[in-house]
Chains A and B, each alone.
Chain A
Amino acid sequence: MLHYAHEQLQGDYYTRAFQAGAQEDTLIINMGPQHPSTHGVLRIILELHGEYILRAEPVLGYVHRMQEKMGEVKTYPQYLANMGRVDYLHALAWNWAYVRAVEQLLELEVPERAEYVRVITCELNRITSHLLWWGAYLLDLGAFTPIMYGFADRERAMDLLQIITGSRLTYCYYTFGGVTADLTPQFIDGTKDFCKYMRTRLPMYKDLVTDNMILRHRVDDIGIISVDMARRYGVTGPNLRGSGVEHDLRRNTPYSIYDRFDFEIPAYEECDALARYLVRMDEMEQSISIIEQAIQSLPEGPVMPPKMPKVIKPPKGEAYGEVEGARGVIGIHVISDGTATPYRIKLRAPSFSNLSLFAEVSKGILLADAVSILGSLDLVIPEIDR
C-alpha cells in the first residue's frame, strides 16, 4: 500500500478550489496539461456526470514566460525577438502590432513598399496559421489524413517566408519603420505560384473534409457561442465572425494599406463550430486574394525610411498598436518614459479571451464535444500565458 502525504492527496490549489463545489456522484478529471487536444500545456479541470460535463475550469500559466516583464528590461529593438515567441503560429502579426505601437511613439513614416511587404508576408503567415489549425483540429476530431495535406501546403508557404525572413516559425522580420529585408524575385515568383496552387487545393479540402458527413456531425450545432456571450468575453477574430458579427480590424479600422484591397470578411450566423470552421476556410481564400492584389500593385522603393534614429528612444507617451491576427485582435500597449527601455508593455492576446468562454460554453455538453469546441476556438497556449 502506498502512502501519500496528506497534501499530495489534496491536489494543488486549483484542484482543491474546484473540488469544493462538486456535486455528489460526479467525477473530477484533469484534461491536460499534456492532453493532445489542448495543443500545448493547457489544463482543464472537468466535473463529469457520466459523459456529460457539469463544470469546466481552464487552468493557465504552464508556459508563462513573463513576456510583459521582459519588455521592461530590454531596449525597444531587443524586445522585437520576443514577439515571434508569443504566438508562434502568427508571429508576423505580433511583430506588426509591436512595431506599429513603437512607430506611433516615434512618429515614423513607413515607406509604401514596406507596407505592401508587410501585408503580403502577414497574410501568408495567416494562411500557414489557418492551415495548421485546420490539420490539428481534424486530428483532434479523429481524422489523421488532413494534417498531412495541410502540412504539405504549409511547408511551401514556410519555404517562401524563409527566403526573406530566414526563419520558419518565430519570425523577427519587421522592424521600426519598415522591414529588415526586401522581397526577392524568388519570393515573388514563388508566392504567385503558391497562390495559384492554393486555389486548386482549397476546393480539394472542401471535397475531402468540409463536405464530409462525419465532420458535419462533429461540428454542426456544437458549441454555440451567442453574440452576447462573445461580446461579454471579448471574443474577436474568426470566433466572433462565426457568431455572425462582421468585425475585422482590417475592415473596421483599416490600418496600413488594407483599405486599398478588395476582399470579403467572411461571417456566418450559426454561432457553432461549423461556422467558425467555415470562416477560417473562407479567410484563407481572402488572404490569397489580398496577396495577389498586393503583389500586382507592389510599388518600387525603399523598405526602410531614409532617416532612422541610431538609438530608438521614443519621447514620453503611450501608444497602442493593434492588428488583426489569425486568432483575433492583437493589441500592444507601450508606455515610454523617454528612455531606451519601455516603461511598460501590455500584450492583449486574443486567445485569452477566446478561451475564457470555454467554462460557460461547455456546460452540459458531451466530453467528446468539448474537444471539438476547444479545437474550433483555435487556441495557442503560449499566447494565452504570454
Chain B
Amino acid sequence: MTMIKKTPKQSTLQGIKSLFVGLKVTGRNFVMPQITTHYPRKEVSNLATYRGHVDLVPKEDDPMTSKCILCGQCAKACPSNCIELVIRKEEVEPPPDEEAQPDSGSKEEATAKSAPKKKKVKRILDAFMLNYNLCSLCGQCVQTCPVDSLEFSTNSYLAGFTREEFIFDLLERMRNKQKASSSG
C-alpha cells in the first residue's frame, strides 16, 4: 500500500542533537580501516570481469589460426564500423581424393561432374583489423559471430599516446599471445 507521507519536522533541539549524531558517524568512520586502494602499489580486485576490446579465439586443434570463418557478419553488425577483414584469395588445386567419392547418382552431382573442373578459391585471413578508437564495447560483434570466434579481452590497463596505437590486428595479437603462452 502506498500513502502520501509528510516530511518529518525537526525542532531546534533535535537539530542541534543531529549535529552530534553526525559527528559520531564521522568519528566511527575515522577509525575504520581504509577502503580505498593505493593504486600503483596495490590493484583493485574487480578487474577479472572487465570487458575490454574484442579478441579472436584460436582453434583448439590449431592455436595459430582463429576459429573465424570469414563470414564478415561481425563487421556488418558493428554500429561503428570498427572491424575490417583483410582477406586474400588464393587459388588452390582441388585435392585429388575429391573425385574418388562414391557415386550417389544424384542429378546435381552428375552435372557438376560434367562441368569443366574449376580451381577452388580459398579465402585466407591476412589480418583482422579492429579500430578500437571507435569501438563502444557494445558486444554486437561477439553476439553475432556464428562460431564464437570473438571474445572480450580483460585488459583494463590499455593506454597509448596516439590513435594509431589503438588500431589492432587481432590475428597478430592472437598469434603473439599463443606464441608467448607456448614458449612461456
CA distance A75 to B6 in the complex (A): 48
Task: Please give the distance in Å from B158's CB to the nearest CB on chain A.
Answer: 15
Residue of A212, A267, A270 touching B2 (CB-CB under 8 A)? A267
Of A78-86, A116-124, A192-200, A313-321, which binds chain B? Answer: A78-86
Q: Give the nearest-CB partner of A158 in chain B.
A: B46
CA distance A212 to B4 in the complex (A): 23
Most buried by B among A80, A166, A180, A212: A166
CA distance A85 to B2 in the complex (A): 33
The answer on a CB contact under 8 Å between A74 and B79 is: yes
Q: A162-B50, A213-B19, A216-B15 are in contact. Are A274 and B7 (CB under 8 A)?
A: yes
Q: Which of A151-190 contact B (CB under 8 A)?
A: 152, 159, 162-163, 165-167, 170, 172, 175, 180
The answer on a CB contact under 8 Å between A244 and B50 is: no
The answer on a CB contact under 8 Å between B139 and A246 is: no
Contact with A along B1-34 (1 / 0, CB 8 A): 1111111001000111011011011100100000
Give chain B residues whose Cβ lies under 8 Å from the Cβ of A268: 4-7
Give chain A residues whose Cβ lies under 8 Å from the Cβ of B136: 81, 85, 170, 172
Task: Please give the distance in Å from B91's CB to the nearest CB on chain A.
Answer: 32
The answer on a CB contact under 8 Å between A166 and B49 is: yes
The answer on a CB contact under 8 Å between A166 and B152 is: yes
Give chain A residues whose Cβ lies under 8 Å from the Cβ of B16: 213
Q: Does B65 contact A (CB under 8 A)?
A: no
Q: Which of A138-158 contact B (CB under 8 A)?
A: 145, 149, 152
Give chain B residues whose Cβ lies under 8 Å from the Cβ of A159: 46
Contact with B along A262-289 (1 / 0, CB 8 A): 0011111110101100100000000000
Q: Does B86 contact A (CB under 8 A)?
A: no
Give chain B residues whose Cβ lies under 8 Å from the Cβ of A267: 2-5
Of A48-56, A203-211, A362-370, which binds chain B? Answer: A203-211
The answer on a CB contact under 8 Å between A78 and B139 is: no
Contact with B along A240-277 (1 / 0, CB 8 A): 00001010000100000000000011111110101100
Q: Give the nearest-CB partner of B76 in chain A.
A: A75
Q: Does A77 contact B (CB under 8 A)?
A: yes
Q: Does B35 contact A (CB under 8 A)?
A: yes
The answer on a CB contact under 8 Å between A212 and B138 is: no
Give chain A residues whose Cβ lies under 8 Å from the Cβ of B22: 207-209, 211-212
Interface bin, chain A? 35 or more
The answer on a CB contact under 8 Å between A80 and B138 is: yes
The answer on a CB contact under 8 Å between A213 and B51 is: no
The answer on a CB contact under 8 Å between B26 and A145 is: yes
Residue of B7, B10, B35, B79 touching A275 (CB-CB under 8 A)? B7
Task: Please give the distance in Å from A66's CB to the nearest CB on chain B.
Answer: 14
Interface bin, chain B? 20 to 34
Q: Give the nearest-CB partner of B12 in chain A.
A: A213
The answer on a CB contact under 8 Å between B79 and A81 is: yes
CA distance A335 to B10 in the complex (A): 52
Give chain B residues whose Cβ lies under 8 Å from the Cβ of A149: 29
Residue of B2, B15, B26, B140 touching A213 (CB-CB under 8 A)? B15
Q: Which of A363-386 contact B (CB under 8 A)?
A: none
Q: Does B143 contact A (CB under 8 A)?
A: yes
Q: Does B77 contact A (CB under 8 A)?
A: yes
CA distance A207 to B169 in the complex (A): 55
Give chain A residues whose Cβ lies under 8 Å from the Cβ of B35: 152
Give chain B residues whose Cβ lies under 8 Å from the Cβ of A270: 6-7
Give chain B residues whose Cβ lies under 8 Å from the Cβ of A80: 138, 140
Residue of B29, B46, B77 touching A162 (CB-CB under 8 A)? B46
The answer on a CB contact under 8 Å between B46 and A246 is: no
The answer on a CB contact under 8 Å between B21 and A207 is: yes
Residue of A175, A272, A275 touching B143 (CB-CB under 8 A)? A175
Write 18 A-B pairs (CB below 8 A) sorted by A numbering.
A74-B79, A78-B77, A79-B79, A81-B136, A81-B140, A145-B26, A159-B46, A165-B51, A166-B49, A166-B50, A180-B139, A180-B143, A207-B18, A207-B24, A208-B25, A211-B22, A264-B1, A278-B5
Question: 3 tightest A-B contacts by CB?
Answer: A166-B51, A213-B15, A81-B138
Given A207-B25, A208-B21, A269-B4, 16 additional A-B pairs, CB 8 A: A77-B140, A79-B79, A81-B79, A82-B79, A166-B49, A170-B136, A175-B143, A207-B24, A208-B25, A208-B26, A212-B19, A213-B14, A213-B16, A251-B2, A270-B7, A278-B7
